Structure 1
């Protein structure tokens, strides 16, 4: 399952650096970790269980920048099922 354009719009924004952000998107619960610049780098997408953990899929972001800070590569990889 690849990430759609509406979810990528949410993930291309900047958030609080080095934090865990939770959002609701349609029928999905999203939770993502941010790096020191506030870019989402790990995404958990699915539904929350009674203990508050998201059960669904995990995605990891490959974000490469050159020495001047220009983005060379920005790609989300599906890492599989999270339970």
Structure 2
């Protein structure tokens, strides 16, 4: 499943740094980890089970900056299934 533009925009917002954020979005359960700057970097999307874990897909985000601190790459990549 490819991430839709509206979900990428939602994940592009700032969140509390170095935390795990849980939410529901358009019928899917989301859990994502943020880096020290509050950017989402690891995403689990699917359905949450009774144990609290998400069964679905796992994505990782690549953020690259140049020497001046300008963002030059922002890419989400499917890493496999989440169990």
The normalised TM-score by structure 2 is 0.96
SS for the counterpart of 1:6 is helix
Aligned residue runs from structure 1 range 1-83, under 5 A: 1-83=1-83
SS at match of 1:7: helix
CA deviation string 1:22-78 (max 9, x = no partner): 110111000000000000000000000000101100000010011211111100000
For residues 6 and 41 of structure 1, the distance between their equivalents in structure 2, rounded to whole angstroms, comes to 17
Give the number of equivalent residue pairs. 83
- Runs (5+) with no aligned partner, structure 1: none
Question: CA RMSD for the aligned pairs?
Answer: 0.7
Q: Which runs of 5+ in 2 are unaligned?
A: none
